[in-house]
Structure 1
Amino acid sequence: MENNDYSHLKEEIISNNRIFDGKVIKVDHSRVKLPDGGTADREIVYHKGAVALIAVHQEEMYFVRQYRVAPDDFLLEIPAGKIEVGEAPRETAIKELREEIGGVAEELEEIQEFYVSPGFSNEYVYLYEARDMTIDVQELDDDEFLDIVTVQLQDLKKLLQAGAFRDSKTIIAVQHVIAAYNL
């Protein structure tokens, strides 16, 4: 049986300096005490979390294509959005599905939760699958510009292997759909 006491690996923050306090993220420069007694510097990005949505309707999976400034690229992604203060992940999922693709789901099932890049960020994503969905009109935020893209389910594996999806939430979602739908 595995020992679940990992305290010998824990780092302790001994000093902290907030170097950025923005609308979406906060960034700290921290000094930590290492398990062996030494010290190291850590840069930590704090994020309120996000939701992402698997949206399959009539043998097609829904994606959005949008420009992302950080990688300077147009990415094909699943619908997603950040969780607002005081908002539950499920509420955000319902809102983002409607905003980004005009989707309304009879049921939302949580599929997975994961950290995006735990080496420097606490950003946590809740992945939902929208079930029994109808499609209406997009209700984009004023600062959102994206195209809806639908992909036939039988084409997902080929597109995944070709590198069409390059962000972690979308790759996880596509792999889930390929397995769940036996594609």
Structure 2
Amino acid sequence: MTDFSRDDVEIIHREAGFRGFYQLDVLTLRHRLFAGGWGPALRRELFVRPDAVCVLPYDPWQDAVVLIEQVRVGALEKSTNPWMLELVAGLFDDGEEAEQVAHREAQEEAGLTLLSLTPITRYFPSPGGSNEQVYLYCATVDSRGAGGLHGLAVEGEDIRVSVWSRVDALTAMAEGRLDNAATIIALQWLELHGQALRDNAGPQP
């Protein structure tokens, strides 16, 4: 583990490259080297976007997970099917806490009420070029009646919701049908901690 800190990176210049729903900044920077001294000036593009919250809705009474499916532009050129199976997720609005985002997005994207939230981790999905952090949770839900089409029409969302047994979801992950980072991390966490969630769930609401 390095002893360096953010003070060991010097931003020489920063300029706006693009401003839209997201933004791109162009940075010229240099940083200290492991061998000592400072490295050369580097030009780097930084994709600047709000942090995100991702939630794996899990029903410990049915041993099932709720997944959503929607088209993803990032998968258009590298996948035969850009409609991805994934977690409930959304970006922070101004002034929101992570748990507020989780509850809001669960309602908007899946029509779900979250009964409890367990933090899994917080991570950078692509720190080589983006400053986004993901707050990842597992949420206890009652999956009975879950499904159908959801999403906010004003945001152009067209989301299909489905309930999967935990075993079937893990099989789909192993076969590569679930191929986005948040879903993979959350399902791996559930495999390690799911039994404790089932043991402590209590009577079904």
The equivalent residue for 1:66 is: 70
TM-score, length basis structure 1: 0.88
From the superposition, tell whether residues 8 and 124 of structure 1 become closer, same or farther in structure 2 (CA, over 3 Å).
closer
The equivalent residue for 2:202 is: none
Question: Which residue among 103, 122, 144 is the counterpart of 1:113?
Answer: 122
Deviating beyond 6 angstroms after TM superposition, the runs of 4 or more aligned structure 1 residues are none
Percent identity over the alignment?
A: 27
**Which digits, 9 at most, give the CA deviation of each residue in 1:120-140, with x for residues without a partner?**
111111111212546668752
From the superposition, tell whether residues 28 and 85 of structure 1 become closer, same or farther in structure 2 (CA, over 3 Å).
same
* Contact persistence 2:56–2:137 (CA under 8 A): yes
CA distance in 2, matches of 1:55, 1:157: 14
From the superposition, tell whether residues 33 and 101 of structure 1 become closer, same or farther in structure 2 (CA, over 3 Å).
same
* Contact persistence 1:107–1:130 (CA under 8 A): yes
Structure 2 SS opposite 1:176 = helix
One-letter code of the match for 2:94?
Answer: V
Question: Which residue among 125, 140, 144 is the counterpart of 2:151?
Answer: 140
Task: Give the C-alpha shift of residue 107 in structure 1.
Answer: 1.5
Tell me, which stretches of 5 or more residues in structure 1 are unaligned?
none
The equivalent residue for 2:203 is: none
Alpha-carbon RMSD across the aligned residues, in angstroms, is: 2.2
Please state which structure has a larger fraction of its residues in strand.
1
One-letter code of the match for 2:114?
Answer: A
From the superposition, tell whether residues 14 and 96 of structure 1 become closer, same or farther in structure 2 (CA, over 3 Å).
same
CA distance in 1, matches of 2:142, 2:48: 33
One-letter code of the match for 2:111?
Answer: G
- Number of aligned pairs? 179
Task: Give the C-alpha shift of residue 70 in structure 1.
Answer: 2.1
TM-score, length basis structure 2: 0.79
* Contact persistence 2:150–2:158 (CA under 8 A): no
Within the alignment, does 1:87 sit opposite 2:96 as a pair?
A: yes
Tell me, which stretches of 5 or more residues in structure 2 are unaligned?
33-37, 77-81, 196-205
